[in-house]
Amino acid sequence: MRARNGDTAAYERLVERHAGIAFRTACVLAGSAADAEEATQDAFVKAHRALGRFRPGAPWRPWLLQIVANEARNRRRSAGRRVRLELRAAEQAVGAAGAAGLSLAAPSPESVVLLAERDAGLRRALGTLAERDREVVYLRYFLDLSETEMSAVLGCRPGTVKSRLSRALQRLRAAVEERDG
């Protein structure tokens, strides 16, 4: 890797590679896609400036995500605002499956879908969680962050991540059960 000593092209590749996870992390924390975009951009610029402080050999992602998280939190403009996570467009999905040669092909004569209605309930239950709990659940299960990355994003010790996640899951389970009756 030629990315050292200010190799801008190399840094750009790094940005491209991590833009997705940085942006999604920002989405979870910022409250809107627009804020998340700003936060991501600023985070990459700040990270570039701070590269000198980056410890060589240390994992890059947790370090970057920590900066992203700070930027995103600073931009959360209203406490109640939450990013709306969209369902994947079905048409796209069906088309993609067709392109992949699956029998779910677009003009599929018939498809029987066993729908997990419970997922709708789970989604609603997630919505009732406190910000703090929801964040940890999203980071773990929707973004698939490692414990190290989560601790960087949440600003807590790695050991605390587990207990926070476990408490959040308890409350989520309680919320699901309440809804499922």
Partner 1 sequence: MAERFDVLESRLRALAAETEFPPTPDVAAAVRSRIAVAPVPPKRFRFARRPSRRALAVAIACVVALPAAAIAAVPGARHAVLDWLGLRSVRVRTVPALPPAPPGPGSRPSARPGADLGRRATLARARAQLPFSVRVPRALGSPPRVFLASSPPGGRVSLIYRGPPRLLVTEFRGSHTRTFLEKTAGPGTTVERVRVSGAPGAWLAGRPHGFIYADARGVIREESTRLAGNVLLWERGGVVFRLEGRVSKAAALRIARSFR
- Closer to partner 1 by Cβ: residue 80 or 109: 109
Site residue total, partner 1 (CB under 8 A): 82
Find the binder of partner 1 among 73, 96, 131, 160 (CB under 8 A): 96
**Among 65, 63, 43, 45, CA closest to 55:** 63
Task: Report the alpha-carbon distance of residue 75 to residue 62 in Å, rounded.
Answer: 20
Q: Judged by CB under 8 A, which of 81, 108, 124, 155 binds partner 1?
A: 108
Q: Is the dihedral of CA 146, 148, 154, 156 positive or negative?
A: positive
- Phi then psi dihedrals of residue 82, to 5 deg: -135, 145
Cβ atoms 58, 50 nearer than 8 A: no
Q: Quote the CA–CA distance of 162 and 141 in Å, as a whole number.
A: 13
CB of 63 to partner 1, least distance (A): 9
Choice between 138 and 154, CB closer to partner 1: 138
**CA distances for 32 relative to 10, 76, 115, angstroms:** 29, 8, 29
Q: Of residues 41, 70, 128, 160, which one binds partner 1 by CB under 8 A?
A: 41
* 56 is an interface residue for partner 1 by CB under 8 A: yes
The separation between CA 76 and the C-alpha centre of its own chain, rounded to angstroms, equals: 15
112 binds partner 1 (CB under 8 A): yes
CB of 156 to partner 1, least distance (A): 20
Query: How many CA atoms lie less than 13 Å away from 98 in the CB half-sphere?
Result: 12
- Give burial (CB, 10 Å; 0-12/13-18/19+) of 176: middle
To partner 1, the closest distance from the beta carbon of 128 in angstroms equals: 15
Applying the rule CB under 8 A, the residues between 116 and 175 that interact with partner 1 are 116-119, 121-123, 126, 137, 141-142, 144, 166, 169, 172-173
* Shortest distance in whole angstroms from residue 174 CB to partner 1: 10
Q: How far is the CB of 59 from partner 1 (least distance, A)?
A: 5
Q: Is 178 in the site for partner 1 (CB under 8 A)?
A: no
